[in-house]
Structures are given as C-alpha cells and as structure tokens.
Chains A and B, each alone.
Chain A
Amino acid sequence: MRIAYRDAVREAIRDALKADPRVFLMGEDVGRYGGSYAVSKGLLEEFGPQRIRDTPLSESAFVGAGIGAALGGLRPIVEIMTVNFSLLALDQIVNNAATLSHMSGGQLSVPLVIRLATGAGRQLGAQHSHSLEGWYAHIPGLRIAVPATLDDARRMLAAALASPDPVLLFEHLYLYNMEGELTPGLERVDLEHAAIRRAGRDVTLITYGWSLYKCLAAAATLAQEGIDAEVLDLRALRPLDDAAIMASVRRTRRAVIVDEGWRSGSLSAEVATRIVEQAFYDLDAPVARVCTAEVPVPYAKHLEAAALPSPETIAAAVRNLLTSGAGG
C-alpha cells in the first residue's frame, strides 16, 4: 500500500497515542488546523482536545510545558512548526531539557520528543528554510535523529518515545509529500545506527534528510559513468555512528559529506574531522563537502535552487575527487 511521508508520521503518532495513555501531542495549529504540514489532520477528532492540544504562539512556553509534563511522568510529543522558530525555545531545550538529567544526578529525566520541520526547497524564505539541526547535534543531553525514509518516519517516533532523554526528530519539509511503500514486517528501528542506502566501492556519500535522495540521484548518474558511489544515511546526528562512517570510508577510501546546513562550524565539519581523526590512513583523497551556500536561503526559486546541494553539484564533487583528487 502506498503511503505518503506525512501519513507515515501521522500513523506513528496515532500508534503512540493508542499504545500509551501518557502520550499527547501539542504545538501550534496541530489540532483544529490539522498541522502546518497536515501531519496531525484528523487526530483531534479521533483523540480529543486533551491529547491533541493547540498552543499559543509561544515556543518557549509550550516547549517548557512539554518539559514539565515529561518531568511529571507524561510522554509529550511537541511539534515546532519549523526549526527556525525553535530558536525561541532554545533556552528551554538547551538549558532545561538537555541538562536536567545531568544536573539532578540522574534523579530527573526528560522523556520529551520534539518534532521539527527543517530545510529548504519550497520557497518559504530564509526564516522558514534553514537547516539548524547541526546546532542541536552540538548539545550533550539531546538525541538528534533524522527520519529520511518512510520506514524511519513511521517507526522512529516509537524509539524516540522509549528514550529517557529528550529526542529531537527533524522532518525535512520537502519529504512530507514523498510517497512509497513501507517495508513489510519492519516494526522497529533504532536511533543509533546509520544505514547504507546504496552500496558502492568508489566513494562514500555521507548524508541525511532530503539530501539522501539527491545523493541517490547523483549516485545513479555516476553509475552510468562507471563510478560506484556508496550512500550512507546518518539517521542519527547525535550520537553519530562513527563505526558505520569509518567502515564505509575504509572500504571506499573517499568521502563526500552532503549537508543542507552551511559548512562553516557545522555538522559536516564534525563528520569530516572524525574521518580524518579515525580513518586518515585509509583516505585516498581529501574529505570533500557539498553544503548550502553561505547565505540565508534565498526566496527566488532559481536562487534557492542554486544555493542548495543538488544531484549535479554532488556528482561534480565526486568526479572532482576521483579525477584531480582535490577536495570539493
């Protein structure tokens, strides 16, 4: 049966609401409006206003309320409309959610799940288009996961709710319309392991989120040229699955990191550094990166497209690495 990404997320929320009475969803427009991306459409009618709660337009307030509910024994799912707006709740997320377990010596835990839309590509302008998940991956005490596939969209939420620590799930807004089949029989996924989405011998494309599909498209193009690219979906940005990254890079000896975030002081910089730290003697070329241009993401369609990684720029970076050996 074909299913869209947004429906997979909704099914995951519905499963969680049914399975555990402590679970509830709250956020801006999640109830009567059905969610900005129509993820929670119909859930208010099905589960009622106690468990599908519309909140005022105050990220700090409703994330703080979520932290309080989690401390009080509930299992809140908080939706933040986009990662850009989560900055208003940064104090709650970084100073409270991430720290309380550590500061209480383990007496308190914050089993909070925050779902955030992230990324560009839909001409929503700079203030709705940034990819700031790399920032959150910097913070100890948080777990950061990125469901890029339908299976992960469908199954990651349960794993996140099972975690005693706060988990941020980043849903790329471009993926909500993506349709496909779920893997039959797949009931559970974890938040720890990266996954090889395409096996290859010549270079490893390390990526996550929407960029996964750009990498797969680039790999298909490169395959016609005789270049066999492996595509590694990180899935978890914190903690990073170093073992999977290094195992792949040791096989292919070349790495291109594709990240819709900017490159300066970024997640891609972190992954590149770890490769150099842990697999330097396995490298046959410098680590290369394809990232978003260092500008606030433009609104104009052609400028937005030019600013973001694309299958073409990814393929070009790979060719460059394999021919001249220079970094991208």
Chain B
Amino acid sequence: MEVEFRLPSLGADMESATLTEWLRKPGERVRRGEPLATVETTKGLIDIESYDDAKVLEQLVKPGSKVPVGTVLARLEIEGASHAPPAPQPAAVQPVSPPSAPARTVAAAQERPAPHARISPAARRRALELGLSLEDLARRAAGDIVHVDEVEKLAVEKTPAAPTDAAGAMRAAIGAAMARAKREIPHYYLAHRLDFGPVRAWLAAHNASLAVKDRLIDAVLITKAVALAAARIEGFNGYFRNDRFEPSSAVHVGAAIALRGGGLVAPALLEADRKDLATLMQDFSALVKRVRAGHLRSVEFTAATITVTSLGADGVDVMYPIVNPPQVAIVSAGAVRDRAWVGDGRLLIRPVLTLGLAADHRVTDGRTGARFLRAIAELLAHPEAL
C-alpha cells in the first residue's frame, strides 16, 4: 500500500518550511514515529516523523527546497504492522474517539491556509471576539481581502451549526439526562484491564490487505464484543421502565460520538451483535457522517439498548461513565497504551486497554457486572472470532 508523506502543519501560523535533510534514503525502512526528514521552520529545525511503518519509495523534494504545508515530500510503501491503522476516510477516523494525533496533522496539512491571506486588522479582532479561526477566514477569502463584514457573515453562517444557543441547548439536554441518571439510578462501577495485543495484531494483519476505506478500527471490535457479551449475559441490555427491567432481545449499541461544536450524541448501531465486522464498520462510518452532518434517523436516536463510549488515543486510562437512562449499562474504553504486563510468567510490554462499566444496581450487582466485563475481555482476546 503506497501512501504520500506530506509536510505537516507544525503550528497554525506555519505556511511553509525548508527541507534541510532526508534521514532515510529511498529503499530504507522507517518505523512509525521515527523521524523521516528534518525541516526548518520559522521556529527552528524540526524532525518530522513517519505516521507508518514503511519503506521509502521516492523522495519528491530536494534538501534546500522551501515548500508549502501539505506538499507531498515522499511516497512511502506501508508495511502491514502499523500499530494504529493510518487514518482512512476523515469520516471513518472520527468516530467515538477523537482522531489520533497523526491523523489530525495530516488533516491540518490538507487544510492549509490560503497562501496570500489578507485579513484587515479590524477583521482579525472581530474574528478573535467571535472565536473564528483565521485559517477558516483565509481559506474562505481565497486571495481576496477579508473585512469585518465577511467575518460577521461567516459567524452568522456558522451559527446554525454550532451556535452558543444550540450548544447550550445540547448541554442542557445532556445535563438533564445525566441529572436524572444520577438521581434515579443506583450506579455501581467496575473496571477491568486487558491485553489488547491480540486485537492490534489481528487488526494489522486484517487491514493490511484492505483498501483504506474498508479497514477496521479498535472501536468497532470493542462495540462488537460488548454487543455479543450483552446478548449472552442478561441484565445489561434493555430498559428500566415502570419500576422494572425490560430486557431487549435485540442489541442496539449506542455509540457516543463527540460533536465538533461541543456536546455528544449516542445514536444506535442497530443489531450490532448480529452484524459482521465489515458491516458494522460501514454502519459506524455512515453513522458518524450522519451525526456530523445532522442527518440522524430518529430510530437511531432512541433505539440504543446499551452504550459504548471510548476516549480514543488522546484519552486517559479509564473512564467511569454514567448510565444513559432508560438504559441500564454503559461500557467505557480508555486509551490503549503500552504497559508493563505479566503474561506467561514474564514481564512483557503490551498494549493495554482498561474497560469501565457503570450499571444499574436495580437490575444487576457487581458480581454479574464482573462476569459481563470478563466476557467482553474474553471476546477481545479472540478477535478472529468476533
């Protein structure tokens, strides 16, 4: 699989950089995270790293050349075993978890500011007051001069998408639901650490042969595992209504998705336990796209019987979530990080995932919750069977 290695934006004000040195020759290999080239920016010399384990195929820019952000510096051949699959479609990278750092850098590089952005002093100040980014303005202006009027127009355009009012309304809705949960649901909390190595290894092998858009991500496997466990162990899938638990035969997993303007929604992946991973991935991508575009179907809003929330690569080790009523359980996934891990009587370095569970004590208790979490862990230990 061939990819382009682009000059990333190393700061909002960076427009270009001078390539000073190639640290790998064509034909040489580079590991994900290792520096591939050195560039000189206004802030000094900076090593830029590869996002992938890869082989350098061709260098397209010579040392000494000054190039704009986003320029393709080299072509690389990706070799199967990258830890995180490189960002596929933007929509597919932005599920539940915020995009990983390299993915974001690539995105920033593609959205580089217009080279000759002329923004009037008053427009700059107004943009600052309105919280609009100068890059947005510059890109919008496409070479023309940006005045206060354009800034205010842009602010108005953006208002329907993520205005203070709508954001405030969403915050109020989240607050009301969570206050109800904390008031009515006697929560108990559990956490469980597991070796995520098998998932990563299986994913790397599985994804290596796939087109970018078909590649699977961690969140989909976790969602599938939670769905299967919820189908097998009673007490976590369904609603608590009219003073009693109503189990659901279908498993509709709500996927918590953060919105760019703030807030989050948790629309349902319908019948997640019965879908294969590829279908689930497609549904997931489509769902994220629709969430961001504001085209959710109403059934997706209300159908979830259990929720999965994931902090993603930028997150912390463990999250203690709050049950989304009238559901009775929510599973959280912390950030996967390399940790010391004892296995086979030896001390190993493994990618470790900590799952969290918050569940309704009116329906289950800690012992059942522990079985549920262990079942999920067991499923994730054999990703090939998911």
The reply to whether B124 and A284 contact each other, CB–CB distance below 8 Å, is no
Question: Among A281, A283, A284, A285, which residue has the most Cβ atoms of chain B within 10 A?
Answer: A284
Check if B147 is an interface residue, CB within 8 A of chain A. yes
Given contact pairs A253-B148, A285-B147, A325 touches B120 in the complex (Cβ within 8 A)? yes
The reply to whether B125 and A284 contact each other, CB–CB distance below 8 Å, is no
Q: How many angstroms between the C-alpha atoms of A74 and B124 in the bound complex? A: 56
The reply to whether B145 and A283 contact each other, CB–CB distance below 8 Å, is no
Q: Is the interface of A mostly helix, strand, loop or mixed?
A: loop
Q: What's the minimum C-beta distance from A324 to chain B, rounded to whole angstroms?
A: 8
Binary contact readout A246-259 vs B (1 if CB under 8 angstroms, 0 otherwise): 00000001000000
The reply to whether B147 and A281 contact each other, CB–CB distance below 8 Å, is no
Check if B121 is an interface residue, CB within 8 A of chain A. yes
Residues of A within 8 A of B323 (CB): none
Check if B122 is an interface residue, CB within 8 A of chain A. yes
Q: What's the minimum C-beta distance from B309 to chain A, rounded to whole angstroms?
A: 43
Residues of B within 8 A of A281 (CB): 121-122, 124-125
Binary contact readout B115-156 vs A (1 if CB under 8 angstroms, 0 otherwise): 000101111110000000000000000000101110000000
Residues of A within 8 A of B149 (CB): 284
Q: What's the minimum C-beta distance from A67 to chain B, rounded to whole angstroms?
A: 46
Q: How many angstroms between the C-alpha atoms of A20 and B125 in the bound complex? A: 54
Check if A280 is an interface residue, CB within 8 A of chain B. yes
Q: What's the minimum C-beta distance from B240 to chain A, rounded to whole angstroms?
A: 57
Which one of B118, B122, B145, B147 lies within 8 Å of A282 (CB-CB)?
Answer: B122
**Total A-B pairs, Cβ < 8 A:** 30
Q: What's the minimum C-beta distance from B129 to chain A, rounded to whole angstroms?
A: 11
Q: How many angstroms between the C-alpha atoms of A281 and B121 in the bound complex? A: 5
Q: Which residue of A lies closest to B150 (CB)?
A: A284
Residues of B within 8 A of A282 (CB): 121-122, 125
Q: Which of B66-121 contact A (CB under 8 A)?
A: 118, 120-121
Residues of B within 8 A of A285 (CB): 120, 145, 147
Q: Which residue of A lies closest to B148 (CB)?
A: A284
Residues of A within 8 A of B125 (CB): 281-282
Using C-beta atoms within 8 Å of the partner chain, give the interface range for chain B.
Answer: 10 to 19
Q: Is the interface of B mostly helix, strand, loop or mixed?
A: helix
Q: How many angstroms between the C-alpha atoms of A282 and B149 in the bound complex? A: 13
Q: Which residue of B lies closest to A286 (CB)?
A: B120
Q: Which of A247-296 contact B (CB under 8 A)?
A: 253, 280-285
Q: How many angstroms between the C-alpha atoms of A171 and B147 in the bound complex? A: 39
Q: How many angstroms between the C-alpha atoms of A284 and B121 in the bound complex? A: 6
Q: How many angstroms between the C-alpha atoms of A324 and B147 in the bound complex? A: 11
Q: How many angstroms between the C-alpha atoms of A281 and B124 in the bound complex? A: 8
Q: Which residue of A lies closest to B145 (CB)?
A: A325
Residues of A within 8 A of B121 (CB): 280-284
Residues of B within 8 A of A284 (CB): 120-123, 147-149
Q: What's the minimum C-beta distance from B378 to chain A, rounded to whole angstroms?
A: 62
Q: How many angstroms between the C-alpha atoms of A140 and B238 in the bound complex? A: 86
Q: How many angstroms between the C-alpha atoms of A284 and B126 in the bound complex? A: 10
Q: How many angstroms between the C-alpha atoms of A324 and B149 in the bound complex? A: 14
Q: How many angstroms between the C-alpha atoms of A281 and B123 in the bound complex? A: 8
Q: What's the minimum C-beta distance from A217 to chain B, rounded to whole angstroms?
A: 26
Residues of A within 8 A of B120 (CB): 253, 283-285, 325
The reply to whether A325 and B147 contact each other, CB–CB distance below 8 Å, is yes
Binary contact readout B185-215 vs A (1 if CB under 8 angstroms, 0 otherwise): 0000000000000000000000000000000
Q: How many angstroms between the C-alpha atoms of A253 and B151 in the bound complex? A: 14
Q: What's the minimum C-beta distance from A227 to chain B, rounded to whole angstroms?
A: 13
Residues of B within 8 A of A280 (CB): 121
Q: Which of B255-283 contact A (CB under 8 A)?
A: none
Residues of B within 8 A of A283 (CB): 120-122
Q: Which of B311-370 contact A (CB under 8 A)?
A: none
Q: Which residue of B lies closest to A276 (CB)?
A: B121
Q: How many angstroms between the C-alpha atoms of A283 and B121 in the bound complex? A: 6
Q: How many angstroms between the C-alpha atoms of A285 and B121 in the bound complex? A: 8
Q: What's the minimum C-beta distance from B211 to chain A, rounded to whole angstroms?
A: 46
Q: How many angstroms between the C-alpha atoms of A285 and B124 in the bound complex? A: 12
Residues of A within 8 A of B124 (CB): 281
Q: How many angstroms between the C-alpha atoms of A285 and B145 in the bound complex? A: 9
Q: What's the minimum C-beta distance from B154 to chain A, rounded to whole angstroms?
A: 15
Q: What's the minimum C-beta distance from B140 to chain A, rounded to whole angstroms?
A: 15
Q: How many angstroms between the C-alpha atoms of A145 and B149 in the bound complex? A: 37
Q: How many angstroms between the C-alpha atoms of A253 and B121 in the bound complex? A: 10
Q: Which of B148-195 contact A (CB under 8 A)?
A: 148-149
Q: How many angstroms between the C-alpha atoms of A285 and B123 in the bound complex? A: 10
Q: What's the minimum C-beta distance from A15 to chain B, rounded to whole angstroms?
A: 46
Q: How many angstroms between the C-alpha atoms of A253 and B145 in the bound complex? A: 14
Q: What's the minimum C-beta distance from B340 to chain A, rounded to whole angstroms?
A: 54
Q: Which of A271-328 contact B (CB under 8 A)?
A: 280-285, 324-325
Q: How many angstroms between the C-alpha atoms of A283 and B118 in the bound complex? A: 13
Q: How many angstroms between the C-alpha atoms of A280 and B145 in the bound complex? A: 16
Q: Which residue of A lies closest to B125 (CB)?
A: A281
Q: Which of A107-166 contact B (CB under 8 A)?
A: none
Q: How many angstroms between the C-alpha atoms of A21 and B124 in the bound complex? A: 59
Q: What's the minimum C-beta distance from B138 to chain A, rounded to whole angstroms?
A: 15
Q: How many angstroms between the C-alpha atoms of A324 and B145 in the bound complex? A: 8
Residues of B within 8 A of A325 (CB): 118, 120, 145, 147
Q: How many angstroms between the C-alpha atoms of A190 and B122 in the bound complex? A: 33
Q: Which residue of A lies closest to B151 (CB)?
A: A284
Q: Which residue of A lies closest to B118 (CB)?
A: A325
Q: How many angstroms between the C-alpha atoms of A262 and B147 in the bound complex? A: 30
Q: List 28 A-B contacts (CB under 8 A).
A: A253-B120, A253-B122, A253-B147, A253-B148, A280-B121, A281-B121, A281-B122, A281-B124, A281-B125, A282-B121, A282-B122, A282-B125, A283-B120, A283-B122, A284-B120, A284-B121, A284-B122, A284-B123, A284-B147, A284-B148, A284-B149, A285-B120, A285-B145, A285-B147, A324-B145, A325-B118, A325-B120, A325-B145
16 new A-B contacts at CB < 8 Å, known A281-B124, A284-B149, A285-B120: A253-B122, A253-B147, A281-B121, A281-B125, A282-B122, A282-B125, A283-B120, A284-B120, A284-B121, A284-B123, A284-B147, A284-B148, A285-B145, A285-B147, A324-B145, A325-B118
Binding site for A on B (CB under 8 A): 118, 120-125, 145, 147-149
